[in-house]
């Protein structure tokens, strides 16, 4: 009978058993019960599962040898398959979760964020309801829509374009300002008090139309509406957004406002029985611009002597029968872009020094329109007036009246010169008209 060692030389499994038992094979004789063990062969380095079971006759022992890889192959294969299935299932579930989260949460939140940007820029008309199956997001969208409606109710009370610009430029809502050279405009309706007394409540739609026209014109010319003061409008150019053409744009706005108001009156006067005329004062200079007020209530406005002069110039129109007057600094800043006539040199109420005042006639780029000859006659009269040559001044002013058909400022100076002919002024007289009323 061949020995175990001899058999092991012909069979790897038997060789593994022989390697485990050793040369003497003594352990098998003392074996009384089944023994199971795991053994790593030193020859091939593989793991084997060994089982030795003694029989009840002739000291036989049944040895079972199974390579561990063969025994665990099915388990490893099933484990790998299970892992692969779990990975695929996880990816599918994660993708589905991401898509669902994006549809249910991400996309609605993104739309709501965009709605908040509309509120920040006061574009309230762009805000719409964003429905969502999630109750929290749906409630948030509903609250956002409700908030936009509330803000829209107050939108008419605040200059939304100004707020939008301030927010975009990062200007905080707290008291403060800076000195800048700007152009400010004041406008007022001629005879508004008497008109309102005559029309009563019917004056409201007329005033609303006028303010609507003024607001549109000022916005189109990049102006900032400061405030409405009854029938008066105060606006300025050059802030909060810088504008190198602030003087020219202010003059262009004044001319366009007068044109549109005249057109509106022509179309509506037969029905309303009221034709509106306005007086406008414009001045340029260094002024304080910023948030003026208290911590509880602020107004983005301009203050300073140049602002007061613009207000006074609006009232000076009444004295000369003109409609649009500008200060000498506005004339210099606008330069050749505007057409004017030198009206007078006045000391407005509250000032002692004379200020050259000009009547705004038009824009230089309005077709082939040129300064008419009567302007030269009028300015020649001013020169004679300054030289105390009353007779020559009267002749020039009357020539201007005739050439134009009627010229209220020329009539004012004719009357003034006639008074000086009758009672000459003192020797220290200067050609500065002192205005004692606002």
State the residue for tokens 């040898």.
65
CA dist 180 and 285 (Å) reads 8
Q: What is the pTM of this model?
A: 0.69
- Per-residue confidence (pLDDT) for residue 120, from 0 to 100: 64
Q: Give the pLDDT of residue 2.
A: 44
Distance in angstroms (rounded) separating the CA atoms of residues 410 and 316 = 15
Cα atoms in the 13 Å half-sphere on the side-chain side of 362: 10
pLDDT in tens, 218-227: 999 999 999 9
Top-confidence range, 48-62, 238-252, 294-308, 342-356: 238-252
Residue written as tokens 């004017």? 340
Q: How confident is the model at residue 332 (pLDDT cuts 50, 70, 90)?
A: very high
CA–CA distance, 359 with 281 (Å, rounded to integer)? 10
- Kindly report which listed range (33-42, 238-247, 352-361, 368-377) carries the lowest average pLDDT score: 33-42
Whether the CB-CB separation of 239 and 223 falls below 8 Å is answered with no
Per-range mean pLDDT, top range of 18-32, 43-57, 198-212, 375-389: 375-389
Looking only at the bridges linking them, the beta strands covering 224-229 and 176-189 are: unpaired
- Pairwise CA distance, residues 405 & 426, whole Å: 34
- Residue 27 is given by DSSP the state G
- pLDDT-derived band at 369 (thresholds 50, 70, 90) equals low
Give bridge partners of residue 358 from the DSSP assignment: 326, 342
- pLDDT at position 203: 86
Residue with tokens 């009672």: 423
Q: How confident is the model at residue 74 (pLDDT cuts 50, 70, 90)?
A: confident
Cβ contacts of residue 34 below 8 Å, gap of 6+?
51, 52, 53, 54
Tokens of 137: 């997001």
Domains of the chain by start residue, with CATH: 4-71 (no CATH), 75-156 (no CATH), 158-371 (3.30.70.1230)
pLDDT score for 151: 62
Reported as half-sphere exposure (CB side, CA atoms, 13 A), residue 143 has a value of: 6
Dihedral over Cα of 389, 390, 396, 400: its sign:
positive
Overall average pLDDT of the 65-90 stretch: 79
**What's the confidence (pLDDT) of residue 5?**
47
- pLDDT, position 218: 95
C-alpha to C-alpha distance for 340 and 94, rounded to whole angstroms = 75
DSSP 125: G
pLDDT of residue 43: 73
Banded pLDDT at 297 (limits 50, 70, 90) = confident
With cut-offs at 50, 70 and 90, classify the pLDDT of residue 173: low
Top-confidence range, 74-83, 172-181, 337-346: 337-346
């Amino acid at each position: 009978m061949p020995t175990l060692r001899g058999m092991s030389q012909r069979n790897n499994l038997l060789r593994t058993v022989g390697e485990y038992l050793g040369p003497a094979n003594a352990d098998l004789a003392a074996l009384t019960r089944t023994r199971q063990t795991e053994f790593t062969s030193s020859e091939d380095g593989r793991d084997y599962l060994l089982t030795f079971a003694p029989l009840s006759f002739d000291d036989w022992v049944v040895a079972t040898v199974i390579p561990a890889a063969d025994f665990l192959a099915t388990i490893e294969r099933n484990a790998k398959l299970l892992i692969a299935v779990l990975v695929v299932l996880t990816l599918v579930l994660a993708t589905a979760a991401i898509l669902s989260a994006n549809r249910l949460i991400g996309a609605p939140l993104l739309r709501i964020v965009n709605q908040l940007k509309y509120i920040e820029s006061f574009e309230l008309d762009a805000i719409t309801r964003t429905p969502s199956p999630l109750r929290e997001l749906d409630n948030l969208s509903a609250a956002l829509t409700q908030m936009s409606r509330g803000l829209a109710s107050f939108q008419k009370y605040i200059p939304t374009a100004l707020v939008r610009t301030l927010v975009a430029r990062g200007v905080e809502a707290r008291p403060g300002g800076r000195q800048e050279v700007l152009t400010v405009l004041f406008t007022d309706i001629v005879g508004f008090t008497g008109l309102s007394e005559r029309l009563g409540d019917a004056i409201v739609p007329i005033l609303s139309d006028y303010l609507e026209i003024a607001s549109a014109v000022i916005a189109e010319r990049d102006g900032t509406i400061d405030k409405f003061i009854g029938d008066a409008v105060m606006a300025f150019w050059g802030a909060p957004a810088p504008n190198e053409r602030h003087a020219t744009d202010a003059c262009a706005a004044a001319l366009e406002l007068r044109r549109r108001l005249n057109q509106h009156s022509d179309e509506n006067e037969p029905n309303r029985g009221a034709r509106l005329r306005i007086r406008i004062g414009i001045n340029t200079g260094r002024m304080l611009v910023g948030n003026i007020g208290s911590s509880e209530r602020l107004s983005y406005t301009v203050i300073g002597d140049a602002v007061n002069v613009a207000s006074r110039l609006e009232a000076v129109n009444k004295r000369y029968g003109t409609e649009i007057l500008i200060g000498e600094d506005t004339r210099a800043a606008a330069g050749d872009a505007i057409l004017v006539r030198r009206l007078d040199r006045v000391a407005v109420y509250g000032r002692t020094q004379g200020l050259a005042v000009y009547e705004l006639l038009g824009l230089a780029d309005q077709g082939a329109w040129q300064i008419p000859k009567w302007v030269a006659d009028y300015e020649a009269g001013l020169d004679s007036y300054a030289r105390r040559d009353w007779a020559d001044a009267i002749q020039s002013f009357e020539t201007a009246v005739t050439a134009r058909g009627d010229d209220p400022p020329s009539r004012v100076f004719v009357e003034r010169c006639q008074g000086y002919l009758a009672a000459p002024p003192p020797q220290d007289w200067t050609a500065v008209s002192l205005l004692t009323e606002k």
